Structure formats: C-alpha cells, structure tokens
Structure 1
Amino acid sequence: MPITQPPAQPTQLGQLRTFISLFLPICLALLIIGGMHYYTFYTTEHSSIESTESLNVDLAQRMIREDIADVVKDLRFLAAHIESQGLPEALPWTREQRIAEEFRAFAKNKGLYDQIRYLDDKGMEIVRINYNDGNVEVVPYVELQNKANRYYFREALAQEPGGIYLSRFDLNVENGKIEEPFKPVIRFGSPVVDHSGNKKGIVLINYLGSRLIDNFSRAAASIADHIELLNGDGYWLSSPRHENEWGFMLDSNIRFQNDNPLAWQKIANSENGQFETSQGLFTFTTVYPLKAAISALPETIKTVNDGQQQFPRWKIVSHIPHSQIASTFPLFLKNNGALYLSMFILVFVGTGVLARTTYLHRIAEAQRDYEQRFRHTLENIDLAAVALDKQGKVTFCNNHFLDITGWKREDVIGRNWIRQFVVDDDQEQVSGIIRQMNTPQTFPSHLELRVKTRDGKPRLITWNNTLSFDSKGEVIGVTGIGEDITEMRRTQRELLKLYQAVEQSPSSVVITDPQGDIEYVNPKFTEVSGYSAQEVIGRNPRLLKSGETSRDEYSTLWQTIRSGGEWRGEFHNRRKNGELFWEAAAISAIRDNEGNITSILAVKEDITEKKRLEKEVEKQNRELALAETMAAMGRMASMIAHDLRNPLSSVKMTLQILDKKADPAVSADTNELCRISLEQIRYMEEILSDMLSYSRPDALKPEWIPIDKVIDLSIGMSQRRQHKKKITLRTRYHSGLPTLYADATKLRQVFSNLIANAFQATVDRDNPQVSIEAMIELGHEGTNVRVNICDNGCGIDAEDQKRMFEPFFTTRAKGTGLGLAIVKRILDQHQASIHVSDNTPVGTCISVILPINPAAQESTTENREHEQDSYRR
C-alpha cells in the first residue's frame, strides 16, 4: 500500500464548491473595494477642489502683493533718483528738463503706468508724462495743473521722507466724470526731499489697474470663472460677471453680502479661511495693499510708514456651488462603471478557471516560489533588468525596464532581443557579443547600448552583464542590469554646446560668486578689457572701474539682482592699458532649485564706437540745424534790407531837410510830428541792423584788450540815457584784471546791449540804480573774467529767464527780440557764457564769464577731458 494516497480526482460538485467558496468572497471583496474606491474618489475630489481653490486664491494674493511691491520699488527708485541727482534744488529749467527725460525713458521702458508726475510742495505739476498704447507724451507746460486741493496730493506730501502713499482702487475720473471705457487706477505717491531733508514735492504714479486685474485673473486662471476681488465694503473690483463691478463708483448697491450674508460675515471678520455653507464652498484670503507696498521698502523706511495710514483691505473670494461638488457619483460611474463590470465578468470567468487550475497551481507552487524570490529581487531595484537565453530571446524583464522603454511585458517576453530592441547600427556588434557566451572568458561585463522604445526614440543604457550557468556549468543565458544614461549624455552635450556658445560669444561674459569674485570670463572679455582669465579669476570686477559710476548706482544694481530682477545699464570702464571704454551690460542672478543665489551672470557689449558715433551725429545735426536757420534768416534779412532801406533813407533825408529848414510860420505841431517821424525811422533802422547782425554774424577780429576799457566805452555809449533817466551807475573793477584775447567791437556791442537793458528795467523806480563789477574767476577749465551787471528794476520771472536769449522773444511793446540773441551769439563766438539770476532785494543780475584766451581754453578743456579719461577713478 502506498505511503501516501494519491490525490482525489476532481468532481463537478467539488469544483462547484470550490467555485462558490472563491466566488462569493471575491464578489464581497469587490463590492467593498468599490465602496472604498468611491469614498476615496469622493474624498480625493473634494480635497483636490479645496486644495486647488486655496492654491489659486494664494497665487492671486501673491500676484497682487508682488505687483504692488514692484510699483513701490519703481516709485522709490524715481524719488530716490531725483533726490540723489540733486534735482529738487536745481534750477527750474534744468530740473524740469532732466526729470522729464528720466520719466519719459522710465515710462517707455516700463509700459505699466498711465501717468508719472512730479509735483512741487505747492501742488503744482512740474512734469507730467502720459502713457497711452505705447506712446509716451510729455505734457506741455501750459497744460500742467495745480493739484494742491486734491486728497492724494495732501496725503502723499504728509508722508515722512521715504514714505509711501497708496490711494484707493477706483475708476479714473476726468473733468468730474468717470472715464469711458472704464480705466481702473491706483495712485502711488512718495515725498521728495532736498539734501537737508526738507520736502520739495512728490512723485506720483497712476498705475493701470487693468493690468493688476489681468494678472489677478491669469494667476488664478484655472478658477477664473468663479474667483472675485472685493474691497473692504464688499463691492466687486473684479468679477466673472462684469456688470457687478465698481458699484461704489456707479452709485449702485450691488455688493457681495446682498446675496451671501452669512458667508460675508465670516469673510469680513477673518483674515483667510475655507468653509462650506448651504450656498457652497467659499475660499478666501485678505490682501492689504498698503502693507504690500510697505513690505517692498527697506527696513529703515518701513518703520516710518507703520501707523501713518489706515490699512485698507481687499478680499479675494472663490465660490463653488454645492451642485458642482455633489456631481462626483455620476462622474465615478462614468469613469469606472465599465471597469467594475469587466472586473465582475473577469472574476466570474477567472474563478472558474482558478477552481479548475488550483490543483495544477499547487504542484507548480514550489518551483514558482523559487522563481518569484529571484525575480522579486530584480523587480525591486531601481535599475533595468533583462534576462536572455543563448539564442538572444528575452526570458525576463522587470517593471523598471518597461517604464523607461514604454513596452508592455507581453511585447518583450519571448521576443528576439536584437531584432526587437537593438537599433540597426548596433545589431551586428550585439550579435557578436551574444555569440561570445560560448567563451565566458572574453564576454564583456560592461556595455553601453541604445535600446529601442515603444515610441521609436532610443534610450542609451549602460549594462553590467552577468552570465547564468546550469548545474553542469554550462552557460544558459545572461542577465543584464542597466542604468538609463540618456538624459545624462544629453545634458553633457547641452553643457558642451552652451560652453562653446559662451566661449565664442561676441559679447563679454563674466560669472562671479555671490560675493562678486570672478569665477569665469570668456575670450571676448579678454579681447575687450585686455585682462587674461588668469589675471581676473578670484578678483572683483571693480578692477575695471573708472570711478564714474556712483555708489548709489552700484547699490541699485545689487538691490535689483538680489531681489530677483535683471539690471541693465552702461558702464564707463577702464581697460588694462588705462584706456576708457563704454559697455552696455545685463546682469542677473543664477539661482538653484531652492531659490538661493549661486552665481551672478553679466553679459556685456563694447559700445565705445557707438557712443562716439552718436555724439558725432548729434553735433553734426545741431550744426546743420543752426546753419539752415541762419541761412533762412539771412535771406529774409537781405530781402527786408533791400526793400526797406532805400525808401527809409529817402524819407529820413526828406524829414531831416524839413527839420533844418523849419519855418516859424509852420505850427509847432507840424515840427513835433516831423521829429517823431525821424525817431520812428531810426527805430526801424535799428531793427534792420539787428536782423542783419544776427543773421550774418561777422568773423571775430580778436586782439589783446583790457576789459575795463571796453566796459567804460560801452557805458559812454549809454550815458545820454543814463543822465536823462537820472540813473545811479556804480562800477567796480578788481585789481589785477588781465587783458583778454577778444574782439573789442563785438564786446562793446554786448555790454552796450546789457547796460541799455539794465537802464530800461529801472525806468519805473524812484531811485534807479545799476552796478557793474568785473573780477577774476578761477574755474575748472582755467582763468576767466567775470562781469556782473545788476539793477534794482522790476526783475525777470522764471519763465521769461528760460526764453530771454531766444531770437525774437521780447516782453516789451517795442523791440525786435534780437538784442539778447545777438549777445548770446557773440559770447558763443568767444566761447564765453552768460547767466541770469535774481538781484537782492529786487531786480536782476546778468553775469558774463569770458575766458582770457578762448583758443587756449579750448585746448585746456580737451586736455582736461583727456586727463579725466586717463586718470579718473
């Protein structure tokens, strides 16, 4: 009798019992799994919705804060730049021109601001820049307005130095009406102080609110159909339903709390959160615009702003109705119904098959257990594993291999490795390696091989190969464990390409560490600067400094880089040989995955020749414009002189004859009319003379002359008017006045005109006084003679001072407006200058600064500029 009984033969009843014992538990398990699956699906979907809402609300809040912070940085940059340049204390014309130039360039570069204005401490607009669809307009002086009574001026000026004023977010109003189409704006203001800390005005920026709203919508694009921006009173600033927006500006009471009173109570009394009501899921957070603005300021300025203004708040709210949240079950059935039906059928069929094959499974269990332990090891490593037999057919592959190649297991097992998976160019080489299995001593243990993937893109894998042997020691196959190095090789090629691009770049490239010490320079840097890489590695780029860039500019550069921005500008640097050159630079930080600065990159272009050509073109344009103007003036003056002088001479001669032959019988009135006519003819001759003098300037006839003698002769030419008007004239000549190399006739014309103007300015004074003082002045460009002509007359207002040397500009009823223009022309010919200032306590002072030797002065200036270019740091 056998020691063990043979297994009982399976019967239909036994198979049925086995089927039922397997089928019912599996069905129950399938039902439980389905319920758990649905619960997990519902929980996941709900959590995903909550997370998505919270994430998008936070992104929108962060975007608003960053937008406001960027505007504040721009505002403080403009205010600090004006202060650092000393513009609040500059002459009005210089201040307005330079601020307008700075604002125009800034507005064009940024393209974000509707208006940029500079107002003085009285509320008067000094400069206003309008930006509209890419067009930058400097508003003419006559259109500038006084904003002293506007709330935003008073509140901005009330801030401490360095402080920030932020207006409410509303619609732009022009001439008392809301501008259409609607233009949302936020006004940002900051005081401007002089070097003593006294407030001299404010910089005011009108930020286009539509950009903030667009950025807000883009930041939360995935929930744009139900995210809203509210002000502190519940009015919509942005809503998917645009008709609800700006109720507080349109005298409408459409507010969030009207439809959602319970939700608004929670939102209004909390900073942020997420909750559900009968109306749905609400996610909200609070934005404090002023706090966002203050956060962008340096720590020393933040304390100035704290507590100065109330902190208005905005609310970002997303709302999903319950109907949208509760729609998960139909979605679950749609996504998984076919799966569970298939699983039920599969369970039914599979259970039958399983019941039939249970016996066979038990017999093979031991062998499978061994194979599973072996393959389990290969399955759990993060490397590709493939086993081949001696014919090159695949007997095993792990999941990692399938993941990186995209093949399914059934597409791999049993297939010929060479034909199916090796690229054509490598098939011959791999065939030879397969044949080498018969000689284990020569079989390669390491191999890099390109493997075909399902999508046709080969992957480069490095294989470590191990031969498998049977119990008799015969080779039965090979197992390869491989690592995908495709991306590593691609990265190496990209790095090489990038390195070659930088090395061959036509621009200088400099990379430093976070402290500014040079780590790398390309050959172009050596070509431009003259320094080799070995000379500059480990050193600071300040070795190129010429001293012309201020500390404030460098401070702005570093602040921009460390804040994550890109700084662009120009440097006037020095080469190794001491020669100065211009560079246009773009500098930014290189950050790691955590956002920490690891290096600083500078890309620079030599623009020295470009700068020189720009100056040359500008000079030629000025000369050409002047030549054209003078040519036109000359033609006009010649025509007038030709057509009027001869008739005037005839009339003048006739009147002079009548005057000499005065008949006592003729009435006194007739003689008076004759005298008046002669005076008018002389006046017209003076006009013609001035026009010819201005339009056709004579060449200088210089000689060495004493300045005091020239002034005395000029005074003598005006003595008749002085005595007639009883004007007190005082002259003072400092001792040691040098002689000048100049045209005496021209200078007499200059001083005669200026003295006559001073006499004319005092005609309405009870005690008219004019003083003339000549002295030596030591300037940066050599020794000069300064002549001051001052009067106690009515004075000249600031606007007239700006235009008084323009041709044909005059404030008198009589006069050509060419006298001072001729004076300016003559002084320009002498390379001299003229300045206007107010006299104390009343009147005007004209200062003429004459170089002793204009030719030498020009040479000295050129030498000085060359010296500065060579030695200035």
Structure 2
Amino acid sequence: MSQAKGWGIRVIYPLLGLTILAVIFIVHFQLTLAVQVQSHIQQQRLIAEQGKQLIETDLSELVSDLQVLATLAPVNTLAQKGSLQIMAQQFLAVAKNKNHYDQIRVLNPFGKELIRVDRRLGPGLTPAHLLQDKSGRYYVNDMQKLTESEVYLSPLDFNIEFGVVETPHRLVLRMGRALYNDNGEKVALLLVNYDGDRLKRHLQQIESTWPGGRLMLSDDVARLLPSQPDPLPSPLIQAMANQQRGLIQHNDFSWNFIGIRLPNKIRGQTNWTVISALPPSFRNQLRSNFWREQGGFYTLLGLLVVLSSIGISQLVIRNSTIKQLHDREKSFRKILERLPLAAVVLDRDFQLTFVNHAILGLFNLPRDGELPENDFAALVDIEECPLVEKRVNLAFDKGIAPPAFKAHLQVSGERRLINWHASLIDTSDGPRLALIGEDLTEHETQQAQLHRLSRAIEQSPSMVIITNIDGIVEYVNPSFGLITGYSMREIIGQTIRVLKSGRVLSEVYRQMWQTLQDGREWVGELENLTKAGNPLWVRVSIAPVINDHGETTHYVAVEQDITAEKALQASIAEEQAMRQRNDQMAAVGRAANMIAHDLRNPLSSVKMSLQMGRKRLNATDPDTAEIFGIALDQVTYMEDILSDLLSYSRPNQLQPEWIAINPLLESQILSLQGQIEQNNLTMNQSLALGLPTIYADPTKLRQLLQNLLENAVQAASEVDNGWVNVKSELRFTPKGQKLIISVENNGQPVDRETADRMFEPFFTTRAKGTGLGLAIVRRILDQHRAQCRVQALASGGLLLEIEFSLAAG
C-alpha cells in the first residue's frame, strides 16, 4: 500500500466517525430541547391555572362579602336618625376582620358619600367633613344603572382622593351594588375598594415558584398586574379577544392565557385574563443546561471515536500490507525448507509437491530421503482422513485457508500427532495449499496424563487444596465443598486460615510452616471449622511444589475427613472413663454399704438410750438433759451420713416413664419452703409453659432436684439477701432439642478447683456434710445420659445447668 493511500485512510476514518457522532449529538440535542420546552410549557399552563384559581377565589370572596354587607344595610330605615351610625359600626366591625378592603362606602343614589370605613384610619370612620362627592366618577355612573340583583366590578385603577391620584400609587379593584328598599326604590350605593396590591402579591407569590417566568392579570384595556414594562404583542391581544384560552409563540416568547368567567350578574369589567409568559432566555438556559450535562460525555465520546477510528484504520492498513506481503512471497519454498517445523505443500489431488527436512526428521528418515507415500491422504490416520479431505477441498473451492486442525500421520509404523496450519499460495502451476505442522505427540501424552490426574483429584473423596506461598487458595476439588460447605467461588482467593478453629496450638502451625519452608512434607491432624461452624477434624498431608529453579511456588494439601473417627474415639474414651468411674464408685459403694450396715444398729441403740435419758432428766437435771440433746443431734447427723452412704452405694436400676419436669420442680421447691423462710431467702421461679415430657425415672429425678435445690439453698443461706433462681426452658441446638433446668444462687464465691471437684464423692467445703449429694446427682445424670455444666459467677455463687436430650430411652 502506498504512503499516500495509508494517510488517506488514517484521515477518512476519524472524520467519518466524528460526522456520525455530530449527527447523533444534534438529534439528541433537538429531542431533549423539544421535551424540555414541552415540559416548561406544561408548567406554564399549570401556573396560569393557579393564577386563574387565585383570581376566581378572591373575586368569589369579594362577592360574598359584598352580599354580607348588603344584608347589614337597613335599606327601609336608612333615612331615620341613627341608622347610618349603626350601619357604620357594623361595617367597621367587618373591616377589622377583612384588612384587604381599603374602603367600605355607602353613597346616596347620586354619588355623595354617606359612610366611609377607611383601612388607613385603623380602620376607622372618615369624619363627615372629609366625605366626598363621587358623582362624576365612572364607576358611580355605572352603578347607577344596576338592578337590584346585579353586582358591579370595576377595572384595575389607581385610587383618587379629591380629584387627584393618590401617591404613592395604590391599585384598587372596586365592587359594588345598588341598595333597594321594599318598595323597589334605590336608596343607596354600596361600594367596596379591594386592595389591588394584595392581588399583586398573590400573583408574585405564585410567580416565585416558577423561576424565569412571569404571571400577569389583564383586563379589557390590557392593564397588567404586576405591571409589564413592554406592551402585550398584538397577536396575543387578538387571540385573547377571540378565545377563552390559548398558547401564542411570538418573538421566542411563549404566552399562555386563560380567561376568567364571571357570573352573569356581574356588570362593568367582566373580561379578565391570566397570562403566563416565558421569555426567550429560558431556551438559552435549556441549551446551556444540555451542554453542561452532556458536553463532557460527548467530548469523551468524540475522543473515543477518534482513537477507535485511528485503531481501525491502522488495522485496515496492516491487513492490506500483510496481503501484499503474501503476494510477494516468491521464495516460499526456501523459507519452508529452513523451518524447524514440519511443512508440506499439496495440490488439489492431495499429492505432495514439497516436504521439508523437519518432517523427515520426525519419522527418523534421512534428510535426502522421502516419505513412503506421495499421497498425503494415505499418510493420515484412516479415521481422521475424511475431516482432512473436507478441509483441504474447502480451501481450494472457497479460495480461503481452512482453520488449524490436528491429524495423526503414520510413517513406517510410527504414529505422530501434528497440529497443522494451512495457507493458500499461488504458483506457476496453480494454487497450492501449504501445511505447517507442530509435533504435539509429547504434548498429547502429557495432556492425557494431566487429564487422568485431574480426574483423579476431582473424584477423590479426600479434599485437595492448592495455595500460593502466602496461603491464598487457588484451587479446591469438589470434595472440599461437600465437606466444608464452602463453594469454590467463596474460597478461591481467600486465605486457608478461614478454616482455623482456634483450638489448635500455635506451636503446631509454627512447626508446620517451618517444615514447609524447609521444602519438606508435613503430616499431621488439625481441628478446623466448617462454614456452618461445626468442628472438622482432618488428617493432613501438605507438600511444597518446587519449580525448575528450586523455588517453592505453591503448596498442595490432601486432607482426609476424620471427624467421625475422632467422635468415635471420644465416645469410646468416654465409655471407658464412665466404666472405670462406675467400677471405682461401685467399690466405694460396697465399702460404704458395709460400713453403713455395721454402724446403723449400734447407732439406733445409742439414739434410743439418749432419748430415754433426756426424757428422764428433763425434770430433775436440765443441764444434763441438754447435753443428752446435743449428743442426740450428733447421732441424727451420723444417721443422715449413713443414709447418704446407703443411697450412693445402691444405684438401683432405672424405671423410666414419660414425666413433666415443671410439677417435679414445684413440689421440690415447696418441700424446701421452711428452710427458705427460716433463712429469709428469695426463691425466683421461671418455668416455661408447654415443655415436652422427658423419658426418665421420676424417683431418681426427684432425688436429683432435691439435692440440687438443697445445695443452692444452703449456699444462699451463707450470705445476706440470699436468693435462688430456678428456670426451665426448651433450647434448640445443632444436636437437636434440649430440655434445660438451671439452678442459680448468689452464695460465697467459688474458685475453679472447687467447681471442678464438687461432683467428686465425699468432697465438701462445709463443716457438716457427707460430700455425696452432688456425687449422687452425677450418678443419676450419667444413668440418664444427661449433661451438667457448672459456672462460677463473678459476683459470687454458682450456676448449674442440667441438659436432657428429648429422645426416648
């Protein structure tokens, strides 16, 4: 391609793109402007409508007030003495409540003022010597023509006092009616001056909600309120004369007008029009807004168009240059000969017209040798031959090179996979197809091995994790998601530390990382957490991945889920510990049983003797009788110890049944009521309603609750303001529903060692006590496979929670 043609392409493409963008910009601008203009015109109509409603409301109020004033006028007794004064006072009262009326006047039928209530006087009554004769005024002349039912409305006008326009100028709107007596005689004229400035302020208030626009009121002679410095255009005046409402566009102004329809009984100024005007500046503002909002976007878009056009033009020039280069390839064969890749040239009949040294070397043939077959189709694997023939024929038929394809060649018993790239070339003998191939045999073997390895990893029941040297996850197999609950999307890119449970010693992790950083494999067991927060025990083998330079690039971890195995080991250990504890307790029980049996009978004889002795000495020797009583209390204490020993030494078989827990708790609390009151304790109960029944031995459960409550009452009795809280509830846990009984007291502080040992037989912190009460509780809990948690409270006392699983047996 010539240099001039290249520069022409570089210039034309950007110009074409910018032209299209300019057309889009103009269309967008015109459409946006039209929509916004229409929106402003709609707003203009709404503003005019609001002005119309305002005027109609004010005029309606004025007519109504005029009617009220007319009813106050004593038309039949107007000539009588005092009537005018009474009427003046009534009008004055109205004026005080209606401060928008400048004047309320009563004139005789010829225009002489009889009464004037003036707002500027407070309001107040104008003195008689200041009353004026208005007989020459136009509005008096018009009112003299009114019938009894008609109302007069004047145009907007400036107020005139004593024949001179009042300054500062004050706009007024006059409304009046003729007053007739019962005989049909006109006796007076009632006239009200409405404050025109108030109407002006109302219009300006509406106008303030419409930035850039004007709102005006016009009468028959085009008087404007508020005042308009320029006269209304003649097309607008003509349209207002012929239409009730309309829209006029003139000199870039937009004029919207709405006529006000007055009742038929109103005479005088009956044509009022509300006009809303949009000046030409609003269109300029819309244009400025569009450029401010869209200018940056179109500027950026124009830059992108220029850059894209330059890129496209460069691509066009490059493709054209490549084509010309292909046309000038006269030494193609020499190039193919020097290629390290396999290269052949075929004619239309699949006959080889050229082979290079590289393809001969693939099959261990000498450089000056030749392939055993001159027909290329005969060398291709028989199953792949139809596809190769189709692609070659398509290339010759369409005149375009086919896409790359893979085919196996078999020469002298050796089979090689070659990836062929085809290109059509012109020769003196006609078109030929050049095939340049890359030997993929070794690559195919490696890919097959990688595929088998990948399938093995994907289908492995063990978790396989690959991370970089910082522990960031780059791959996990499907088993990882099934076991941990984390999807591949959630875990990829995260650190493997998200699985840590926090229950593995930091020393274990330190040794693991030290081993890996030394380039050695680490094997061990770790306790992790699943996504749901459940424990996950894994047996781990982690090995570093080392590249050709001896650098560690990744770590590969193979983890086997041994959670069930760990749970089984824990269960077996627990069973063994329970069996060992039961054996120990059985031995202690047998010894305790023997001691209890051997001591019970002698103690009974001693007790009986002491009782008889105290009874005989009560009257004769009280001091000795008191000593006998103390000894008798000690014997009773020893009997209690023997009872606990016998109870602990004879763990009867369970006789379970379905029972409700709350009645048992209430009965045991009631049995301790004497001790509670004696020690001035507070017993708080919070027993949940509707609890399910549990399958347990009621006798043993009663003994368990009695021992727990007695222990809590005794602990709370040792402090001032002691209290005991008893609570039952249903709790939902990951292992199912649990029935919870909690007993809490505010006794003396308990240290950790005491809390850990309090269920051991014969362990007690009290001067009197066997230390078997909570040991019996532990035995009953073990028989029911229930759990007990002990928590020493920071403020003093203990919290014991008993947990029963809601399952039969």
Fold equivalence (TM over 0.5): no
TM-score by length of 2: 0.35
Q: Between Structure 1 and Structure 2, whose CA radius of gyration is higher?
A: 2
